[in-house]
Amino acid sequence: MHICILIPDDADLDRYDDWRDQAVLIEPLLAAHGLAVTWRAWTDPAPLDCDLVLPLMAWGYHRDLPRWREQLDRWKGTRFLNLLDVLGWNTDKRYLLELQRKGVSIVPTRFHDELGEADLAEARAAFGTDDLVIKPPVSAGSDHTWLLRGPAPCPAEALGLAMLVQPMMPAIASEGEYSLFWLAGAFAHAIVKRPAAGDFRVQGQFGGQSRAIEPPAAAQALALATLAAIDAELLYARIDMVGNGQGGYCLMEIELIEPWLSLDRTADGGQAFAAAVAAAAAAQPASAG
C-alpha cells in the first residue's frame, strides 16, 4: 500500500523546514503497517498515483489560493483524507459563521468584503471592546493578522481587503488557547498554547509555548458539538478554542487540512492514527470526496 503526504512547495522549504520533524515520527508508524510513504509538494501538478493522500503538511497553501483551488480540482478522483470537499470548505474561515448558524459557539466574528475604518468602529460598538483582531478569511500561522488596541486605525495593508473582524479575547493572555485533537474518530490529546508576554499570537515562531493538558469538560463539549455540526468523514481534526470568561468556550478555528498533529503527545505515540490510515488506504472502492 502506498500513501502520499503533501508537504510545502520547494520554494517554501526554508520557511516550513520543520515538516521533517513530523515526517520522522509519521513514517515509521505507517511503515509498521506496510505502508510506503511518498512526500510530495502540494504544488506538484503531476497525477497522484497512490492508495491514499493525506494533506497533513501542505503548509503555505494560503499564500497561493488560486493554485490551491486549482489543485483541489485537479485531485478529484483521488482518495483523500480528510476528503477534498472538507479541504475546500475548511480553506476559508467564513465556515465559522456557518457553524454559528448551526448552534456552535464561536468567537464573535464579522466579515467584510472590503474592510474600512467604519467597519472597525461598528465592530467595536457591537463587541463592546476597543481591542480587535483582524485577519484574512484564508490564512494560517497568524499571517496578515493584526491586533488593534484602543483606537488604532486599520493597517494600510488591510484596507479594502476581505477580512474577518473579532474581539480580542482576554483569556488568550490569561488562560491560553486550547487545541483538542481528534484522530481516527476519537479524542486523542489536548494542549494549551500561551503567547509570549505582550503578544497575542500563540505560535512558536512568535515565542508562544504549549503544554499537554486534560481539557475541561466544557471544552470537550464544544469540540464534540463542532464535529457534529461538520458531519463529515474525518481522519483528523484540531479544534482550537478560547475561554469566554463565563466558564464556557468559543471556537476559534478547526484545522482539517494541515495541523501539527503532535502525535508524540498521544498516549500510544500515534499508533491508533497509523492503524486508521492503513485501514483507510485499504478501503475500496476509492472515493473522490
DSSP bridge pairs for 22: none
pLDDT for 66 equals: 96
- Cβ distance 178 to 192 under 8 Å? yes
Q: Rounded to whole angstroms, how far apart are CA atoms 74 and 42? A: 11
Write down the pLDDT at residue 204. 63
Report yes or no: 77 and 288 within 8 Å, Cβ to Cβ.
yes
Q: How far is 201 from 141, CA to CA, in rounded Å?
A: 9
94 three-state secondary structure = coil
Do strands 132-135 and 163-167 pair parallel, antiparallel, or not at all (unpaired)?
Answer: antiparallel
Question: Which pLDDT score is estimated for 288?
Answer: 43
- CA proximity to 237, closest of 247, 250, 222: 222
Quote the pLDDT of residue 128. 96
pLDDT at 207: 62
CA atoms within 13 A on the CB side of 193: 23
Asked whether the beta carbons of 97 and 110 are under 8 A apart, the reply is no
Bridge partners of residue 251, in order along the sequence: 106, 241
Stretches where the chain sits below pLDDT 50 are 286-289
CA-based nearest residue to 211, from 255, 269, 262: 262
The per-residue pLDDT for 284 is 62
Are 265 and 191 in contact by the 8 Å Cβ rule? The answer is: yes
- The residues pairing with 194 across neighbouring beta strands, listed in sequence order, are 209
For residue 124, give the C-alpha cell: 467595536
pLDDT of residue 58: 96
Q: What is the pLDDT of residue 205?
A: 67
Indicate the residue type of 118: A
